Chain A
Amino acid sequence: MKNRLKHLIDHISNFKTRWPHLSIWLLLLSMLPINSYAEDDHVFLITGSRSNISSISKHDLRRIYLGGTAINIPEPTNPIINKIDISTYRLFLKNIMHMTENGYKRKVVKRVFRQGSDKIIEIKNLNELDNHFKEHPNDICFISSKHSSQMLNIKIIKTLW
């Protein structure tokens, strides 16, 4: 214990000789990109207009988008990845899933092959997304406000940001 304390004190007292290295690390860290939220456009969580789903917790939302099952939703529901607007998709991953695009993809792929979870459907076209909700009213998706106003078969559950 005494030796460990001495070692720690030595380590701290060597700071003078270490500070150039520390400065380089701090400089590198400060250069890392810091993403900010896009405040000019709201993003909503939506479901089909015929769905009985009226609310969904953030925790359930994360579970569903990671290939798991929701706890507090009585209806079986599937998540849809909205790739109509890639920047909204990336912000969803950052703000809600707290992951990068690559990190998220790998996590979902891992789950599909490890636990036999369903693949998550990706939709890149607004009409296709609208039609999807006609046929699968209990599914959920995130969408920007500018796109949501053009859809007929959906209802908004909550504002995500």
Chain B
Amino acid sequence: MPSNHITRFLLFSSILCQSASLYAEVQISGFASFIAGKVINGSEFLADYPKTGIYDKDLSFSPDTSIGVQLTSDITEDFSLTLQLVNNGADEYQTKSTWAYLNYQYSPQISIQAGRKRLPLYYYSDTFDLGYAYHWIRPPADNYTWQIAHYNGISIIFEPRTTSVDSLFNLYFGREDSSNNELLGMFAGAPVNETWKNIAGFVGEFSKDWFEIRLTYMRSLLDREINNTQTDHNVRQHFQGVSINLYYDHLSFLSEFNAYERPQADIRVVTNMQSIGYTLKRITPHITRSELKQSQNSNGGDEHHSTNSFGIRWDYRDNIAIKIQYDKTIDKGINIPIRGNSELISFGADIIF
């Protein structure tokens, strides 16, 4: 029963928080998304690729529902520890540690983290589970199709002093071993173990007044086993992307353009997303188009799907956003169909505490 898992998670979190606060000054933050959805046309809708959260014709709370608790404790003036535990419906309400790192504040401009973090490939990768941070029910699924969402390693964040532009540079290095990867296992119909090693990546963020731009690049080597048989070893892959966001008073324009390549396997995938929102007091209606297209290769790879969305976010309280969204997905893949054409209605609330 999902509700039992949630109760156990909340109980566990509260005990953890209470005992942690006895020993050190611990800052506790949390977030939750309670989302329900139903496919109104078609058979299934893949809402969360990494965790394979799928809606069907029955009303379901599982694909997008999640609860997270973050504990941050200052060990000394320069060192702090951060732990984030998330319980996702798409993961059958199992609690997983999504962030667990030691932070060293070397200077006001430079901080170094060591441990487990989210892999910051896309604009919303870091806050993927934090529904309150964006106007959709979920970031556009066509864009967020990566099978590896975390890494263990080192991250360096540099926020330089500039006179007029807010900027942030993030360099990261690490590795992730995913055994029985859910997304790849779903596509392959067999257990898949995937390793991304020698990960080296860069993120640059720049914002000034109403303009924001984010650049991202990552390269790594990939190993893959399907049914315990190695199919890929030391395969080079790289990812690059740009996001441009404009905020003019109450009008916001959000966009992402990304490309993922694995030249040795002749794989090239491009994704893009554009969204417009307009905030009227506490109500934000928004429309979005997103698309993923894989260039056809010798293996017949032709994954190609796009989604048009329309939704409304209502900031009901300072820490509660109520949302409703309609999505229509067109799946043009013949050799690699995802879940076919479908239309989804989903609604719910995002909370921070």
Residues of A within 8 A of B (CB): 32-35, 59, 62-63, 66, 68-71, 76, 98-100, 102-103, 105-106, 109-110, 112-116, 118-119
Do the beta carbons of A116 and B82 come within 8 Å of each other? yes
Does B251 reach chain A (CB closer than 8 Å)?
Answer: yes
Residues of chain B at interface, number, CB under 8 A: 41
The reply to whether A105 and B166 contact each other, CB–CB distance below 8 Å, is no
B318, closest chain A residue (CB): A105
Closest 9 CB pairs of A and B: A116-B82, A69-B108, A116-B72, A98-B209, A114-B126, A71-B108, A110-B133, A106-B133, A71-B161
Residue of A with least CB distance to B208: A98
B166 contacts A115, CB within 8 Å?
Answer: no
Contact of A118 among B27, B105, B108, B315 (CB under 8 A): B27
B297 CB–A CB distance under 8 Å: no
Instruction: Report Cα–Cα, A100/B249, bound state, in Å.
Output: 7
Contact B127 A110 (CB under 8 A): yes
- The digit string for B50-65, where 1 denotes a CB below 8 A from any CB of A, is 0000000000000000
Among B109, B111, B250, B251, point to the contact of A115 (Cβ < 8 A).
B111
> Is B130 an interface position by the 8 A CB rule?
yes
B111 nearest CB neighbor, chain A only: A115
CB distance from B89 to the nearest CB of A (A): 19
What is B's interface to A at a CB cutoff of 8 Å?
A: 27, 29, 31, 68, 70, 72, 77, 80, 82, 84, 99, 103, 105, 108-109, 111, 126-127, 130, 132-134, 157, 159, 161-163, 166, 209-210, 247-252, 279, 284, 315, 318, 352
Contact of A109 among B82, B109, B130, B161 (CB under 8 A): B130
Known: A59-B161, A118-B27. A35 touches B249 (CB 8 A): yes
Q: A70-B108, A113-B126 are in contact. List 11 more A-B contacts (CB 8 A).
A: A32-B249, A59-B161, A63-B166, A69-B105, A71-B108, A114-B127, A116-B80, A116-B82, A116-B103, A118-B27, A119-B29
B250 touches A100 (CB 8 A): yes
> Once the chains bind, are B31 and A113 in contact (CB under 8 Å)?
yes
Q: Which of B31, B248, B284 contacts A32 (CB 8 A)?
A: B248
Q: Are B352 and A99 in contact (CB under 8 A)?
A: no
List the A side residues contacting B352 at CB < 8 Å.
109
Docked CA distance A71–B160 (Å): 9
Residues of B within 8 A of A102 (CB): 279, 284, 315
Q: Is the CB of B159 within 8 A of A68?
A: yes
Q: Which of A66, A70, A102 has the largest count of B CB atoms less than 10 A from its CB?
A: A102
Residues of A within 8 Å of B111, CB to CB, are: 115
**Are A113 and B134 within 8 A (Cβ)?**
no
* Minimum Cβ distance to chain A for residue B348 (Å): 18
Whole-angstrom CA separation of A33 from B284 in the bound complex: 16
A-B contact pairs, 17 of them (CB 8 A): A33-B249, A34-B249, A35-B249, A59-B162, A63-B159, A103-B247, A105-B318, A106-B133, A112-B70, A113-B29, A113-B68, A113-B70, A113-B84, A113-B130, A116-B70, A116-B82, A119-B27
Q: Contacts of A69 on B, CB cut-off 8 Å?
A: 105, 108
Q: Which residues on B sit within 8 Å (CB–CB) of A99?
A: 247
Centre residue among A71, A98, A115 by max chain B CB count within 10 A: A115
Q: Which of A59, A66, A100, A114 is in CB contact (< 8 Å) with B279?
A: A100
Q: With CB as the reference atom, state the residue of chain B lying closest to A76.
A: B77
Residues of A within 8 A of B31 (CB): 113
CA of A104 to CA of B122, assembled, Å? 21
